[in-house]
Amino acid sequence: MKRKWLVLLTAPCLGTTTASAQSDYLVMSTLGSDTLVSECAKHRGLELDICSSYILGIFDALILSRAICPTPSGVATMQAVEVVQKYLRDHPEKWSQAPGFLVADPLKAAFPCRPRK
């Protein structure tokens, strides 16, 4: 099977992430899902830490790739961190996924783009 290589921030920019889609990519990240889940469980609010930094990096990459469309306000930044932290708490069965997918999936659900007319 031919493997495709991704850079850390390009993985979540892909379309819908399914189990088969994830298995087609080798994600190069120094941050493991277990570390992300552990850091995000520490409830430090919006302090700039590993959890919020990682989430906001993916958030920015998704915006730039037009994979998500948040409202143009600072509220979206705070909401992005909260959305992902809640998703991690509510879905422990997903913790085996690559960290990029753990962050991108709830962001795509929370900030969908409306089709252009």
* pLDDT per residue as tens, the chain (117 positions): 444 433 344 344 444 444 445 556 555 667 888 888 888 888 666 677 889 999 999 999 999 999 999 987 767 888 999 999 999 999 999 999 999 999 999 999 999 998 766
Distance CA 15, CA 11 (A): 9
Nearest to 9 by CA among 56, 43, 52: 56
Per-residue pLDDT at 25: 58
Residue (of 76, 77, 59, 81) closest to 68 by Cα position: 59
Instruction: Determine the Cα–Cα distance for residues 6 and 95; give it in Å rounded to an integer.
Output: 20
